[in-house]
Structure 1
Amino acid sequence: MNTISKIFAVAACLSFYSIETSASQPLLEKDSLEKEPTRVSFLKQRNPNFHPFKLEDSDTTSVAIQFSFVPFVGTNGIYSGNTVNDVSFNLLGGYSAGTRAFEMAGLFNINRGDMTGVQLAGWFNQVGGRVEGVQLAGLFNSNLQDVKGVQLAGLTNFTTGTVDGVQLAGLMNFSPKKVKGVQLAGLLNFTADELDGTQLSGLANFAAKNVKGTQISPFNYASKIHGFQLGLINYADSMSGVPVGLISFVRTGYHTVELSFNEVLPLNLALRTGKREFYNILFAGMRPEISDNVTWAFGYGVGTSPRLGKNLFLNIEASSEQLNNGNVEALNLVNRLFVGADFQVAKKMSLFAGPTLNFRVYDTSFSGHPDLFTFYQPQIQREKSHPEDVASQLWWGFRAGFRFF
C-alpha cells in the first residue's frame, strides 16, 4: 500500500511542477517560433485531410522489402501508407506509398503513389500514381494516372490517364485519354480520346476521337479513322481506310438510294452505304401486279466501285435475294454477280447498267414458288438437282436503273 501511495505522490508532484513551470515561464514570441525550425518527420501527418488512394505528402521513406498480413499489420506497421517498398509481400492485402520493383498479394494491393515493376493480386490493384510495368489482377486494375506497360485483369482495367502499352480484360478496358497500343476485352474497349493501335473486343469498340490503326468488334465507333474497321456494324465520321462489315456507315463516305429493274423483278429499291472501295447493299423488290399474293424479294449484297474516269465508275457487286410469293415459306434464293458501269450525270444522280450472272437455289418440294420470269424470258443455261430436295438454275440477266444522293 505504501508503494502505491508513493507512486501517486510522485505523479502529483510532477504534475504540480509542470503546471508551475508553465505558469512561471513567459510565452515564446512569434518571431522566435519562426526562427527556430520545426522538424517534422515523415511519420507525422501534416495534412488532416487524408487521401487513402492519393499521395500528396512528400514525407515518405523507402525500404528494400516488407511483409504484411493486412494493411498496417506488417513490418512497416502504422506507417505503411508513407513507405515506398522495393519489394512487397502481402498475405491478404497491402497498403503503401508506392512500389519500385515487385508487389504481390493474395487479395489486393493499394499504392498511394507510383508503381514500377510488377504487381500481382488475387482481387485487385489500386494505384494512385503512374504505372510503369505489369499489373495482373483476378478482378480489376485501377489507376489514377498514366499507364505504360501491360495491364491484365479478369474483369476490368480502368485508368484516368493515358495508356501506352497493352490492356487485356475479360470484360472492359477504359481510358478517358489517349491509348497507344492494344486494347483487348471480352465486351468493351473505350477511350474518350485518340487511339493509336488496335482495339479488339467481343461486343463493342469506342474511340471518341481519331483512330490510327484497327478496330475489330461486332460494333465499332470512331470519329476519324486512318486504318481499318471490321465488324457487323461500323460507324465513322470520316475514313481514309476501308470499313468491312454487315452495315458500315461513314458520314463523309458513299451513300446512294437506287431504283432499278431486272429480268426477275421490274421494281427494286436499294440502299448503299460505306465507301466506294467497299460498301453494303440492302434491297427489296416487287412485281406491281394485282394479286392475292404479291411476288416480292428482299436481300443483301456487297460491292466495290473504282473510278474509271472523271464521271465514270465501275460496279462489281455480289448479292443474294429471297424471292417469295406472299409469305416466306421455302428456300428460293437468287444469287447474283453484277458487273456494270455507273455514269455520274449530275452531282447527286447517276445512271447505271450492266449484265448479271444469276444462280438460283430453291426447294423442289415446295410448289408455291412464284414464276421466275414474267415480262422477259432468258434462257436457262444449266439446271441441276441436288440431294435433300434442292435444285439450282444458272442464267445470264441484266440490271439497270438510277442512283440518287
Structure 2
Amino acid sequence: MVRFFLLLVFGTIVSFGYSQTNSLRKKISISVKNERIETVLYRISKAADFNFSYNSDIVPLDSVVSLNIVNTEVVKILNTMLGEEYSYKIAGRHVIIVRKNNSRQNKGEKTTYTITGFVYDRETGERITRATVYDLNKLESALSDSMGQFRIKVTPRADYIGLGISRKEYLDTIIYIRPTEKNNININLKRKEEHLERMMPKGINPLAYNNVDNLSIVKDIVSEEMMIHANNIDISENSIGQISILPNIGTNMKISGAMVNRVSVNLFAGYSGGVRGVEMGGFINIIKNNVEGVQMAGFGNITGKNTNGVQMAGFFNNNRGKVKGLQMAGFSNTGFDTIQGVQLAGFCNILNGNMNGLQLSGFTNIVTKDVEAIQITGFTNLALGNCKGMQMAGFANYVERNNSGLQVSGFSNVVMQNNKGSQIAGFANYTRGDQDGAQISGFLNYAKRVNGFRFAAINVADTVSGLSIGLINFVRKGYFAFGSSYDEISAGNLTFMMGSYKFYNIFGIMKRLAPNSETWGITYGVGGIFRARKKVFYNIDFIDTQFFQYKKIERKDCSKMQLATNINIRLYKKLSINAGPTLNTFMTDNLDTALQDYVTDIAPHIFYDDRFLSVRFQMWFGWTAGLKLDI
C-alpha cells in the first residue's frame, strides 16, 4: 500500500495574494532555551501570523534547540534552526517545509517513476477534470483528463516526493509519497467555501479585472494547458532564473505560468507567473501576476496584475493592475488601475484608473478616473474624473469632473464641473460649473460662476465676481443698462451697456449737434463702475465713435476717442443721472480732402492739433451729461 501524507492548504481569496515578502521575509524576535523544534515552529507561526505545513517524517520535530534572535527575517531563523537542506514554499497563509537533499540524491540514483490516480471531490465523490498535478521540485506536470485520471512521470531527488494538486475552485493540496515501482493513488480535494469566492464589485469596469489569458495575442502564443496550470496553482513557486524560446519551450516547462522568476530571458516570447528582478524578451513578455523590477521587450509587455519598476517596449505595454514606476513604449501604454509614476508613449497613454505622476505622448492621453499629474500630448488630454495638476495639449484638454490646476491648449480647454485653476487656449475655454481662476483665450471663455480674471474676444457667464475683459462680455446676472447722453458735439447719444460692474461693454449710436448736420456715428466702448456711497457712484468709460455722413456712409476714415469720468446719482431704484468731464481725441485722414467738408468743424476748443504721417490728431476737453436706466 502506498504510504502518503496529506496536507490540506486552507487558502482563501484573501490569502491568495499573501506573498513571500509578507511571510518568510517578515522580521520577528524569538528567545527559547532547550525547546523542541515542533514547539519553536508553533511560536514562529504565531509571531509571524501564518501556519506551517510539513511532513513529520522529514522534519526533526523532537530535536531540541536554543535561540536568542532579535528582529530577524523568518527564513533566516528557519535556516539557523533547521539548516540549509530545507526549502520553503508559500500557499496562502501556509509555509510549506520541503527537504532539498537526501540519501537517494547523494547516491546519485536517478530512477523515473510513473504515478497515476484519480482526483475526486471530497464532498460529492465526483471525479474532477482539469486538475493540475505537479512535482514540487522538478516542475513536471499533468492534467486530469475527462475521467478525472492523471499520469505523471517523476524522477525523485529524495526518499519522499512532494506532489501538488490544484484546481481553481478547490483548496490546494500537497501530498508526500515514497515512490515505488507501482504508484496508484486517489486524491480528494475540498471545495472552497462559496462565500469566499471572489466577487466582481458592481459598477466596476470588468476590463480592469480581465485575466491576461483572455487576450487574443496571449491565446495565440500560450497553450491552453499552460493557462489551466497557471490558473489552478495558488502556491507561490519561485525560480532563480529561466530561459525560454516560446512559452511552452523553456526551463520552467508547462507550469511556467505559476513561477515567479528573478531573472527571465525569453528569446522570442515567454509566459510566467511573475517577475521579481529582471525580464528581457525578444518579442513579447507575458506575466500573469506581478512584476517587481525591470521588464524589457522588443515588441510588448503584458502584465496581469501590478508592476513596480520599469517597463520598456518597442511598441506597447499593457498592464492590468497598478503601476508604480516608469512605462515607456514606442506606440502605447495601457493600464487598467492606478499609476504612480511616468508614462511615455510615441502615440498614446490610456489608463482605466487613477493617474499620479506624468503622462507624455505624441497624440493623446486618456485617464478614465482621477488625474493628479502632468499630462502633455501633441493632440488631446482626456481626464474622465477629477484633474489636479497640469494639462498641456496641442489641440484640446478635457476634464469630465472637477479641475484644480493649469490647462494649456492650442484650441480649447473643457471642464464639465468646477475649475479651480487657470485655462489658456488658442480658441476657447469652457467650464460648465464654477471658475475660480484665470481664463485666457483667443475667442471665447464660458463659465457658470466666475471668480477670477478672464480675457477673450467673448466672455460668457452666469455670475462674475472677478474681472472679465473682452470685446463682448455677457453675464446673465450681471450689469445691463440703457443710457442717453449729450455732449458738446452730439445731441443724441443712445447706448446699451452689458457685462459686469467691474468691466462692461458699450454699444451705441450718436447724432451730430450742429444745425443741418448730416453727421452721425456708431459707438463702441468699455467701462467700469466704482461705488462710493449707496446712491452715489462713478464710472470711467473709454469710447470710440466712428463718424459717417448720410450721403457718404461708406466712409470710415474719421473717429473720436473719448475718456469720460462721470458721477452718478441714483434718483430711483434703477434710474440715475450722470455728468462729468471728458478728454477727446479726434483722428482724420489728412490726405482725403473730401473729408474736410464735414469734419474740420467737429472738434471745438482744440488745445492740440498735429499730424503724423497721414493722420491728423485734434484734442480737446469736453463734458457729458445724461440719464441711465438699469435693467
| TM-score bin (small chain) | 0.7 to 0.9
Distance 2:395 2:594 in 1: 49
In the TM superposition, what are the counterparts of 1:4-403 in structure 2 within 5 Å? Answer: 28=126, 36-37=190-191, 53-55=207-209, 63-64=275-276, 65-67=278-280, 73-74=284-285, 76=287, 80-86=302-308, 87-97=310-320, 98-218=322-442, 219-287=444-512, 294-325=518-549, 326-369=552-595, 371-372=598-599, 378-387=604-613, 389-403=614-628
- Give the aligned CA root-mean-square deviation in angstroms: 3.6
Deviation (angstroms), 1:56: 5.9
**Unaligned runs of at least 5 residues, structure 1:** 1-16, 40-45
Distance 1:384 1:53 in 2: 76
Deviation (angstroms), 1:75: 5.1
Distance 1:327 1:165 in 2: 54
Query: TM-score scaled to structure 2, two decimals?
Result: 0.53
Q: SS of the residue aligned with 2:571?
A: strand
Distance 2:415 2:546 in 1: 41
Q: Which moved more, 1:303-312 or 1:192-201?
A: 303-312
Distance 1:132 1:33 in 2: 38
Q: 1:315 to 1:177 in 2, by over 3 A?
A: same
* Larger Rg, first or second structure (1 or 2): 2
Deviation (angstroms), 1:276: 2.1
Deviation (angstroms), 1:366: 1.7
Distance 2:457 2:382 in 1: 26
Check conservation: 2:586, 2:603, Cα contact below 8 A. Answer: no
Deviation (angstroms), 1:178: 0.7
Check conservation: 1:230, 1:245, Cα contact below 8 A. Answer: yes
Distance 2:314 2:328 in 1: 8
Deviation (angstroms), 1:201: 0.9
Q: 1:51 to 1:276 in 2, by over 3 A?
A: closer
Deviation (angstroms), 1:33: 8.0
Deviation (angstroms), 1:288: 9.0
Deviation (angstroms), 1:173: 0.8
Q: State the Cα deviation string for residues 275-301 of structure 1 (Å, max 9, x = none).
A: 22222222222349998x942212322
Check conservation: 1:272, 1:281, Cα contact below 8 A. Answer: yes
Q: SS of the residue aligned with 2:302?
A: helix
Distance 1:236 1:373 in 2: 43
- The one-letter code sitting in structure 1 at the alignment partner of 2:488 is E
User: 1 or 2, which has the higher strand percentage?
Assistant: 1
Q: 1:330 to 1:216 in 2, by over 3 A?
A: closer
- The one-letter code sitting in structure 2 at the alignment partner of 1:205 is N
Deviation (angstroms), 1:117: 0.6
- The one-letter code sitting in structure 2 at the alignment partner of 1:92 is F
- The one-letter code sitting in structure 2 at the alignment partner of 1:224 is R
Check conservation: 1:137, 1:152, Cα contact below 8 A. Answer: yes
Q: State the Cα deviation string for residues 53-112 of structure 1 (Å, max 9, x = none).
A: 533669997535555677xx2253899251422221111112122422111000111112
- The one-letter code sitting in structure 2 at the alignment partner of 1:331 is D
Deviation (angstroms), 1:167: 0.9
Q: 1:393 to 1:51 in 2, by over 3 A?
A: closer
Q: 1:282 to 1:62 in 2, by over 3 A?
A: farther
Distance 1:193 1:208 in 2: 5
- Aligned residue pairs total 372
Partner of 1:12: none
Distance 1:106 1:67 in 2: 16
Deviation (angstroms), 1:171: 0.8
Q: SS of the residue aligned with 2:618?
A: strand
Q: 1:183 to 1:385 in 2, by over 3 A?
A: closer
- The one-letter code sitting in structure 2 at the alignment partner of 1:342 is N
- The one-letter code sitting in structure 2 at the alignment partner of 1:63 is V
Q: SS of the residue aligned with 1:306?
A: strand
Distance 2:620 2:485 in 1: 19
- The one-letter code sitting in structure 1 at the alignment partner of 2:312 is F
Q: SS of the residue aligned with 1:37?
A: coil
Q: State the Cα deviation string for residues 350-401 of structure 1 (Å, max 9, x = none).
A: 1112222211111122233363498x983222322332x3212122222222
Check conservation: 1:66, 1:75, Cα contact below 8 A. Answer: no
Check conservation: 2:418, 2:433, Cα contact below 8 A. Answer: yes
Q: State the Cα deviation string for residues 217-275 of structure 1 (Å, max 9, x = none).
A: 13111111222212221122112221122222222222111122222221222121222
Q: Which moved more, 1:53-62 or 1:84-93?
A: 53-62
Check conservation: 1:55, 1:128, Cα contact below 8 A. Answer: no
Check conservation: 1:62, 1:83, Cα contact below 8 A. Answer: no
Deviation (angstroms), 1:196: 1.0
Q: SS of the residue aligned with 2:594?
A: coil
Identity of aligned residues (%): 28
Distance 2:599 2:569 in 1: 30
- The one-letter code sitting in structure 1 at the alignment partner of 2:304 is N
Q: Which moved more, 1:55-64 or 1:274-283?
A: 55-64
Q: SS of the residue aligned with 1:117?
A: strand
Q: State the Cα deviation string for residues 26-70 of structure 1 (Å, max 9, x = none).
A: 96299x98981359xxxxxx99xx978533669997535555677
Check conservation: 1:92, 1:105, Cα contact below 8 A. Answer: yes
- The one-letter code sitting in structure 2 at the alignment partner of 1:280 is N
Structure scoring higher RCO (CA < 8 A, sep ≥ 6) equals 1
Distance 2:282 2:428 in 1: 40
Q: SS of the residue aligned with 2:591?
A: coil
Check conservation: 1:212, 1:226, Cα contact below 8 A. Answer: yes
Distance 1:57 1:299 in 2: 69
**Unaligned runs of at least 5 residues, structure 2:** 1-115, 129-168, 172-188, 194-199, 213-230, 235-272, 289-299
- The one-letter code sitting in structure 2 at the alignment partner of 1:139 is F
Q: Which moved more, 1:328-337 or 1:282-291?
A: 282-291
Q: 1:224 to 1:193 in 2, by over 3 A?
A: same
Check conservation: 2:389, 2:405, Cα contact below 8 A. Answer: yes
Distance 1:116 1:68 in 2: 24
Q: SS of the residue aligned with 1:129?
A: coil
